[in-house]
Structure 1
Amino acid sequence: MARTNEHPFRRFLRHNALSLVALALVLVSLAGQLLAGHRVYNAERLELGLLPLTMGAYLTSGHAMSATFENWESEFLQMGMFVMLTVVLRQKGSAESRPMSKSQEDPRIERGPKPWPVRAGGIWKALYAHSLAAAFFAMFFVSFALHADGSWRRDAIERVARHEPTIGLLAYLQSADFWFESFQNWQSEFLAVLSLVVLSIWLRQKDSPQSKPLEAPHSQTGT
């Protein structure tokens, strides 16, 4: 039964609770990272004989940009790859996989207005059909570029402080340091996806859409 006489703000909170809590966790974690990173980086600068930065200056520093977008990059890559892989690949028994055959898929769609690109058809519908993966990969490439720029600027400052010659951005992109930063995050994200795909075969979480029903056999594929 629909709730009547519910205050609009309470209805907004109820309808958007998941995204609002997730956003709050992101902001709190980001604030903690920046506060701690500010202290860590200033300690490193003092060791190099450089003056400490104010928080305002730190927010646009290579250290802050690299640390932030290095992690965002791996998250967006993880989700983009997962979205694409689940289009064509299956894992028998996993709640994160589509059913093994199209005949098993539930064709029901909730009643309601169709998204406007679907109604418009043509090129808009075609673009909309791949918009989720496209958005994740676009955010990945932006984050990758910002991570690279931040790490390169941080490296340049450290080289100057050590009286070493600086290198260009393209040269830095070929360095082991940059790819070590990237791959150590990428592998952890792919491990998280693998864990979710495999563990959901045998384990359950009551009321979670990421889990199969408690009574479902291990061989059931999809939610």
Structure 2
Amino acid sequence: MINKIFESLQSAVADVHDGATVMIGGFGTAGMPSELIDALIEQGARDLTIVNNNAGNGDIGLAALLKAKRVRKIICSFPRQTDSYVFDALYRAGEIELELVPQGNLAERIRAAGAGIGGFFTPTGYGTRLAQGKETRLIDGRHYVLESPLHADFALIKAYKGDRWGNLTYRKTARNFGPIMASAAKTAIVQVSQVVPLGALDPEVIITPGIFVQRVIEVPQAAHQTAATATAA
């Protein structure tokens, strides 16, 4: 019987190893798997390469992982926001490496990994420092840069509902990078607000099929709200 449900956050991230590449879903705090990140901090893995849209907000979630100095390198689109002071301090001190990737390129590099695509040409970044050292090509009178797929050892994702096979639905914009990260990682670990019985999810609304998911942990919505309230206080 296929059953991808894990009983605890700790057991779900127990084998994340030092030096692993970890994709973390979320657009800022929307769709950020905060509880999984906290479990990863507790687990202790170091020298991680993190793939995310930004570089953390405030002192929670991804920013807390950075603050614990568990991250060697971050690959993202928006490393500096008004509340990304943890990353800013680490970068200025030379304690973290940054690979800056335009957001569209980031999404397509992740999607390409999941789709088995060896690379793609894009005009974004041509003629800038972001294209240094990369192959370029003139196609139909326009210059393009060759970008490589982004693979990961693990992906930490937040979804809305899931079943024991790993089929997932998302809540509105919290969907963001989750589906493509699940397909680009060797092991996709997903926290869901609700685990539902098989057949409860209409096949027409399943966004991420279970074939891309290896582990599911139920973290009720109340837990998210309690954590958010405690942080705000």
Which interval holds the TM-score relative to the shorter structure?
Answer: under 0.3
Comparing both structures, which one devotes a greater share of its residues to strand? 2
Q: Which has the larger radius of gyration?
A: 1
TM-score normalised by length of structure 1: 0.22
Q: Relative CO higher for 1 or 2, CA cutoff 8 Å, sep ≥ 6?
A: 1
Comparing both structures, which one devotes a greater share of its residues to helix? 1
TM-score normalised by length of structure 2: 0.21
